[in-house]
Amino acid sequence: GESVGLHLPTLSVQEGDNSIINCAYSNSASDYFIWYKQESGKGPQFIIDIRSNMDKRQGQRVTVLLNKTVKHLSLQIAATQPGDSAVYFCAETSQAAAGNKLTFGGGTRVLVKP
């Protein structure tokens, strides 16, 4: 299986509970943020994004919160399911960044207990 995530922080959550994954970003000029989900053996998949002119955005069972003052992002997953077990990454960029390059955080592994 995929060795990514061997040394990542791990969040263990009971099935049906809510999960909160946190991310601190570094660049105060960043104005666009994305959360990705990476399942074992696969590439990252887009979950939800948020622009810097917003502080909250909701999707299906997921909510992203952005606090620009302390440069912090969080991803909330409601009613966590076994299929949510994966590694989650936040990524940041700015419209001024050449090539729209994304800078990724270190990731958090989520383990859902039945």
Residue 100 as a binder of other proteins (CB under 8 A): the answer is: yes
Instruction: Assess 34 for contact with other proteins (CB under 8 A).
Output: yes
Q: How far is the CB of 69 from other proteins (least distance, A)?
A: 23
Nearest approach in angstroms of CB 54 to other proteins is 12
Q: Which residue has the tokens 């999960």?
A: 19
Which residues is 111 bridged to in the sheet?
12
CA 43 from centre of chain: 14
- Amino acid present at 34: I
Binding mask 68-97 for other proteins (x = CB under 8 A): ---------------------x-x-x-x--
Closest to other proteins by CB, 83 or 99? 99
> CA nearest 87: which of 1, 18, 10, 16?
10
